[in-house]
């Protein structure tokens, strides 16, 4: 049970219980990615049986969910050259050559993404106990920038499909376990856990509404011990903010983030699209798969858009 | 032998010889990705033996190779919130929560990337014979936008490592075959062929110089028949422009692009970083691997930055 | 009276009646700015009597009216360096030097702006009868780019203050004349006419609502002859779109724009903020003033943000 | 004489001698703009005699001087809609309406600009003695943002035309006085002083070279007392950095900035283009004029691009 009136105390206690600070040395920049070893990958590759592939990314475009909160816009994609220019023959290339080029402006947290370890701080402290201001300055994250992840977010993915949870539903550790059991899958060390709440499916059907920051199903703050004990590498959901909203304290802002990112060193994925994958898993009854979830290595980024690829 | 004085005739002849227009129906948007089937992926997944992972992406930052040609800049990454702000306590979050956020502005062709099928036209025609202006307008590529690729660029990768070729060296089909043979690997249908010329290694050592658009080793125009006959899914190099520069005609601009993209429907990767992978391949003598090369699905994009991940 | 069922015919007739094509030669890029001569400026400078200055710009920031229509966002301003970094001493400058730098990403039509002559076309024709595609390509406006204006939008401003018109109110030519008469001011050749509808005041008080593209007071289509006959240099309003919305035809999109920009060559300002100026004009009864309304000369831009400065 | 070996001591002494902290109250955000009064503007308006206008802005485009130092790029201007799209009829507008729209991404310090009072700090202190981190955070300049200037940078401009100074020439106070005397003009309280070194003319002729940050003529550090005593409102030059480069200390970075911005509260303009204005002044012998130099009011910006307009 959560004491709704004591976010600071509850957060502090959880941080102390579940801290991974120092677990992989004082210079560590990988956090829970340390659980995802080469051996785990060799095992996970055996999950490829049909060769079917699934992109778990939402489209990156102006029709996304962002509404400007904290200057987060949807991506703005514009063209530097087009087929119309090529047809017109004004591009200055010889012998019938024509080209199209483009640019994008986007917040790195605007759509399907990873939160990097420099994304969230607790009382001015970043992952592994570093002062936040030593880690992320105006030059970006100089210690745990998303580029440090490289190719490591590649391994076994497990889908926990909750169907269609209502906004505000706080998923508990027991529910996570039951869901896994029902689907005949076990969550193990080094896994990338994919939690489908069904909210994105609703948003696709009914419009975004308050998808970006409003009420949503998501993980209960109480799952912090589960997330710690399972020694997973990462977790991703189909919602804006991974944890349940409204949050479970009277005054709160993403308290589970405040523990799992700086204290556990956990990689958190948000706004993933599990729809096609979930349908396939439902059809063949297999809920684990090979998953490559490589962030775009923008140097010093505290998060990253990506196109996660599941293969079964 | 190339007639250096007749780019248009030579290009037109090659386009006619090697055209894949209509091969997969008039509505096709996948081009040579049609060669990369689920069965091929099942085979390719068996290449995962050690679980070692390699990112084939360059860092995305202001220190990249771009110098402004056709408004292509290096990525500009800026922060919306930092650890310094979090420490200062000015962010307005409750109970010690702090965060960092960021944005990026970048040409989609600025660093490690895929050329999409809408990137290059021949005499106003795009892949599969469509008018360029019907495909790519100011709204982007409305037919073959990079999002249509989804998760498909996942399969077998083959590294052809040429060591350290001088700028201007035109790699021939025979050289491609010899390199494969020397490395004990065969290029097959549906493969993603990775050609390492050594130019990026030089640029890392000596500075970018004219890496973006200047002289470079690369594929000879004469490889067009090889690229067509091998039925590969995609090809990528460690250079700015995939084909040899200066080009092999007296007056020319990327003539091989002009055939392979609009006529073959071939996906071309550029500015990939094969350094770590190449060292590993040299060490264990295995030059094929599992490769996930998923573009960021910016809707309507004619190309895309990415973080390709090789697993051995 | 407008025939609500015949936008095309009505527009075509107005275009023919009021066309300025060829009036200043076939190479003209200035349109109605030709009316704003040096002599007019000398006269206008005499209007400076108190030295009081008024900025007619809205703030350029994320709290603006844009909601993403046609990829128009509000400006996104981010920092490259801050005072926090300077205090931290991480900037790498010697002897106590510290700095802050910043960048902005913004649509040129996002806030207080000028529509340039390349902003609107009628049936594929731009100002002075040029084909739209000869004028504005992906490289921008190569003929009438906003930089051609230079310093010319400097002269006499006249405020016509309508107080607080309801949305949908179509201001007629008679109303323009009456307003001028009531305020003891005459609209003359070369003037920059500033029409205050009161909508911005409402938006400031009540929130943006549908300010960007929704219902608004504004000029009636029927004022096209007045705008032509008065030989003004430019007109600006405190609304998103200058003309009344909903437009006065059953099926329509900004029909007055379609005539005044490509056919008259009129410069149109939108989203200007007349609040402080209007209060001063009401107080001293003088509704004309010296006005400098210099666009930011982004080369090839079809419009431009600006900070118009009125001096009385 | 400057002690080249003691930047810190020399800077500190100058700061103490010339400080304006507290001069206009502890809440002041205007600095030397306090010298530019309404009365001064009334006088200055009398300088308009011929009505000739001069834009003092460089073009804002990809051909500018920036080379990426501290992530400063040239502006990138892209189109959201073009005349080609309008001609093609794909824009979705009714009755022949067509439009073009555009966006820009640019550092606010990339071209013709004002340094705002939050742009430079001395030992962590901003204008009027405020802690730098209280003024400029990742949210921008929350105290002296460029929007606070509004319309105030409007008044008398004085051109001091030095012809063609070599790079590295440090302009002294005596030289400023002599130049004014030679040109028959006096620098007075509240003036906006425009110093033409000739470097931009050379760059236009010979290419940018190291214009952005390299050697340049400019004001000597020793002019700090002159700048203070004259009680000018602002100063602008045709160079990247206003003060002479290389700077006049053995180890230094823009030491004059470090005094005049945080301690005097002086507004500094850079990269202005005086070419046309200078030719006119040489022709008629009048070197003062009416000047409107209104920054684009990006909220919280520490500087701003602008199009300064001189009228004679």
| DSSP 8-state secondary structure symbol assigned to residue B214 | S
Q: What is the pLDDT of residues A8-63, one digit of tens each?
A: 999 999 999 999 999 999 999 999 999 999 999 999 999 999 999 999 999 999 99
> What is the structure's pLDDT at B33?
98
Nearest CA in chain C to D40: C51
Q: How many CB atoms lie within 10 A of CB C179?
A: 20
Q: Token pair for residue D29? A: 């955000």
Q: What is the pLDDT of residues C19-56, one digit of tens each?
A: 999 999 999 999 999 999 999 999 999 999 999 999 99
Residue D298 CB contacts under 8 Å (≥ 6 apart), including other chains: C60, C61, C75, C77, C102, C104, D108, D145, D146, D147, D304
Q: Which of A62, A90, A138 is nearest residue C137 as measured by Cβ atoms?
A: A90
| DSSP 8-state secondary structure symbol assigned to residue C298 | B
Nearest CA in chain C to D51: C38
CB C307 within 8 Å of CB C57: yes
Burial class of residue A69 in the structure, from the number of CB atoms within 10 Å of its CB (0-12 exposed, 13-18 middle, 19+ buried): exposed
Interface check C40 vs D, CB under 8 A: yes
**Angle, alpha carbons D199-D200-D202 (nearest 5°):** 65
Secondary structure (DSSP) of chain D: ---TT-HHHHHHHHHHHH--TTTT-TT---GGGGG--HHHHHHHHTT-SS--EEE-PPPBSTTSS---GGG----EEEEEE-HHHHHHT-S--STTEEE-EEEEEEETTSSSEEE-TTSEEETTB-GGG-BHHHHEETTEESSS-GGGGTT-SEEEEEEEE---PPTT-EE-HHHHHHHHHHTT----TT-EEEEE-SHHHHHHHH--TTTTTS-B-EE-GGGHHHHHHTT-SEEEESSSSSB-BS-SSSS-S-HHHHHIIIII--EEEES---HHHHHHHHHH---EEEEE-PPP-BTT-SEEE---EEE-
Residues of A with Cβ-Cβ distance to D84 under 8 angstroms: 82, 84-85, 88
Q: Do A154 and B122 touch (CB under 8 A)?
A: no
Nearest CA in chain C to A61: C71
Residues of C with Cβ-Cβ distance to D7 under 8 angstroms: 94-95
CA distance A102 to chain D (A): 9
CA distance C288 to chain D (A): 15
Give me the helices (H) in chain A, please.
Answer: 7-18, 38-45, 83-88, 132-135, 173-182, 199-206, 224-229, 255-259, 275-284
Phi, psi of A303 (to 5 degrees): -175, 175
Q: Do A138 and C105 touch (CB under 8 A)?
A: no
Which one of C74, C77, C83, C84 makes the best mutation probe of the B interface by having the most chain B beta carbons within 10 Å? C84
CA distance C62 to chain D (A): 9
> What is the structure's pLDDT at A1?
73
> What is the structure's pLDDT at C271?
98
CB C249 within 8 Å of CB C207: no
Residue B192, strand partner residues: B157, B234
C-alpha span between C130 and C123 (Å, rounded): 11
Using CB atoms, list chains with 3+ pairs below 8 Å to chain B. Answer: A, C, D
Nearest CA in chain D to B92: D139
Give me the helices (H) in chain B, please.
Answer: 7-18, 38-45, 83-88, 132-135, 173-182, 199-206, 224-229, 255-259, 275-284
Q: Token pair for residue A197? A: 């709440």
CB A135 within 8 Å of CB A97: no
Cα dihedral C248, C252, C254, C258 sign: negative
User: Using 50, 70 and 90 to split pLDDT, how confident is the model at C78?
Assistant: very high
Distance linking the first and last C-alpha atoms of chain A: 38
Ordered structural domains, chain A, with CATH: 7-69+107-311 (3.50.30.50), 75-105 (no CATH)
Residues of C with Cβ-Cβ distance to D55 under 8 angstroms: 150-151, 294, 297
C-alpha span between C163 and C199 (Å, rounded): 9
pLDDT over 80 at C82, yes or no: yes
Q: Do C103 and B78 touch (CB under 8 A)?
A: yes
CA distance C123 to chain D (A): 4
User: Using 50, 70 and 90 to split pLDDT, how confident is the model at C1?
Assistant: confident
If you average pLDDT over residues B171-196, what whole number do you get?
Answer: 98
C189, C158, C186, C167: which is closest to C281 by C-alpha?
C158
> What is the structure's pLDDT at C115?
98
Secondary structure (3-state) at C229: helix
Residues of C with Cβ-Cβ distance to D87 under 8 angstroms: 121, 124, 131-133
* CB proximity under 8 Å: D 178-237 to C: none
> What is the structure's pLDDT at A166?
98
| DSSP 8-state secondary structure symbol assigned to residue A49 | S
Which contacts (CB < 8 Å, 24+ apart) does range B5-10 have?
B5/B249, B5/B250, B6/B249, B7/A94, B7/A95, B7/B249, B7/B250, B7/B251, B7/B252, B7/B255, B8/A95, B8/A96, B10/B221, B10/B249, B10/B255
If you average pLDDT over residues D120-127, what whole number do you get?
Answer: 98
**Residue B19 Cα to chain centre, angstroms:** 20
Residue C219, strand partner residues: C171, C243
**D76-81 and D101-107 as β-strands: parallel, antiparallel, unpaired?**
antiparallel
Residues of B with Cβ-Cβ distance to C76 under 8 angstroms: 103
A279, A201, A286, A282: which is closest to A237 by C-alpha?
A201
> What is the structure's pLDDT at C42?
98
Residue B60, strand partner residues: A298
Q: Which of B41, B109, B137 is nearest residue A82 as measured by Cβ atoms?
A: B137
C-alpha span between C78 and C71 (Å, rounded): 19
Helix (H) or strand (E) holding B237: strand B234-237
Residues of D with Cβ-Cβ distance to C53 under 8 angstroms: 38, 41, 150-152, 154
Nearest CA in chain B to C78: B80
If you average pLDDT over residues D265-278, what whole number do you get?
Answer: 98
> What is the structure's pLDDT at B1?
73
In whole numbers, what is the pLDDT of chain D averaged over residues? 97
Q: What is the pLDDT of residues D282-307, one digit of tens each?
A: 999 999 999 999 999 999 999 999 99
Residues of C with Cβ-Cβ distance to D11 under 8 angstroms: 95-96
Q: Do B90 and D62 touch (CB under 8 A)?
A: no
pLDDT over 90 at C160, yes or no: yes
> What is the structure's pLDDT at B79?
98
Secondary structure (3-state) at A306: coil
Q: Cα dist. D15→A306, B74, C191, D2, D170 in Å?
A: 50, 39, 47, 15, 20
**Residue D28 Cα to chain centre, angstroms:** 20
Cα dihedral D105, D206, B67, A141 sign: negative
Q: Helices H, strands E: what count in chain C?
A: 9, 17
Q: How many CB atoms lie within 10 A of CB B111?
A: 26
Q: Cα dist. B66→B63, B76, B87 in Å?
A: 9, 12, 35
C-alpha span between D145 and D296 (Å, rounded): 11
> What is the structure's pLDDT at D1?
73
Q: Do B301 and A126 touch (CB under 8 A)?
A: no
Which one of D121, D132, D138, D212 makes the best mutation probe of the B interface by having the most chain B beta carbons within 10 Å? D138
Q: What is the pLDDT of residues A240-291, one digit of tens each?
A: 999 999 999 999 999 999 999 999 999 999 999 999 999 999 999 999 999 9
Please tell me chain B's helix, strand, coil percentages from 3-state DSSP, rounded to the nearest 5. 30, 25, 45
Secondary structure (DSSP) of B52-89: -EEE-PPPBSTTSS---GGG----EEEEEE-HHHHHHT
Interface check D253 vs B, CB under 8 A: no
pLDDT over 90 at D54, yes or no: yes
This complex has an ipTM of 0.97
CB D33 within 8 Å of CB B39: no
CA distance A310 to chain B (A): 8
Residues of A with Cβ-Cβ distance to D78 under 8 angstroms: 78-80, 103
Q: Do D62 and B76 touch (CB under 8 A)?
A: no
Residues of B with Cβ-Cβ distance to C103 under 8 angstroms: 76, 78, 105
Q: Token pair for residue C62? A: 């994320």
Q: Do B98 and A121 touch (CB under 8 A)?
A: yes
Q: How many CB atoms lie within 10 A of CB B284?
A: 11
Interface check C79 vs B, CB under 8 A: yes
Q: Which of D71, D133, D137 is nearest residue B76 as measured by Cβ atoms?
A: D71
Which one of D7, D53, D304 makes the best mutation probe of the C interface by having the most chain C beta carbons within 10 Å? D53
Residue C192, strand partner residues: C157, C234
Q: What is the CA radius of gyration of chain D?
A: 20
Omega prior to A267 cis, within 30 of 0 = no
Q: Do A84 and C133 touch (CB under 8 A)?
A: yes
Q: What is the pLDDT of residues A190-209, one digit of tens each?
A: 999 999 999 999 999 999 99
Q: Do C297 and D97 touch (CB under 8 A)?
A: no
HSE-CB for D132 with a 13 A CA cutoff: 28
Interface check C297 vs D, CB under 8 A: yes
Q: What is the pLDDT of residues A93-135, one digit of tens each?
A: 999 999 999 999 999 999 999 999 999 999 999 999 999 999 9
Give the number of residues written for chain A. Answer: 312
**Residue B14 Cα to chain centre, angstroms:** 21
Q: What is the CA radius of gyration of chain A?
A: 20
Q: What is the pLDDT of residues B5-34, one digit of tens each?
A: 999 999 999 999 999 999 999 999 999 999
């Amino acid at each position: 049970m959560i004491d709704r009136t004591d976010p600071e105390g509850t957060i502090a206690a959880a941080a102390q219980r579940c801290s991974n600070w120092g677990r992989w040395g004082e210079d560590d920049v990988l956090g829970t990615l340390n659980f995802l070893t080469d051996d785990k990958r060799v095992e996970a590759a055996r999950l490829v049986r049909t060769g079917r592939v699934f992109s778990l990314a939402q489209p990156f475009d102006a029709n996304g969910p962002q509404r400007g909160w904290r200057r987060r816009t949807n991506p703005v994609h514009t063209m530097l050259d087009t087929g119309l220019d090529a047809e017109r023959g004004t591009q200055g290339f010889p012998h019938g050559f024509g080209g199209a080029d483009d640019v994008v402006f986007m917040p790195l947290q605007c759509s399907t993404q990873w939160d990097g370890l420099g994304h969230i701080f607790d009382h001015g402290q970043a992952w592994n106990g570093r002062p936040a201001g030593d880690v992320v300055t105006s030059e970006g994250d100089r210690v745990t920038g998303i580029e440090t992840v490289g190719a490591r977010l590649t391994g076994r993915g497990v889908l926990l499909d909750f169907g269609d949870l209502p906004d505000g539903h706080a998923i508990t550790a027991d529910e996570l376990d039951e869901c896994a059991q029902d689907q005949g899958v076990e969550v193990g060390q080094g896994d990338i856990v994919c939690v489908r709440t069904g909210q994105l499916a609703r948003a696709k059907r009914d419009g975004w509404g308050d998808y970006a920051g409003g009420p949503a199903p998501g993980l209960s703050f109480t799952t912090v011990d589960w997330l710690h004990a399972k020694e997973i590498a990462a977790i991703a959901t189909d919602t804006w903010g991974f944890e349940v909203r409204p949050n479970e304290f009277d005054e709160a802002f993403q308290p589970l983030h405040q523990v799992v990112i700086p204290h556990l060193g956990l990689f958190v994925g948000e706004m993933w699209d599990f729809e096609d994958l979930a349908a396939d898993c439902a059809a063949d009854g297999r809920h684990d798969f090979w998953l490559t979830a490589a962030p775009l290595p923008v140097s010093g980024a505290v998060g990253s858009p990506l196109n996660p690829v599941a293969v079964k």
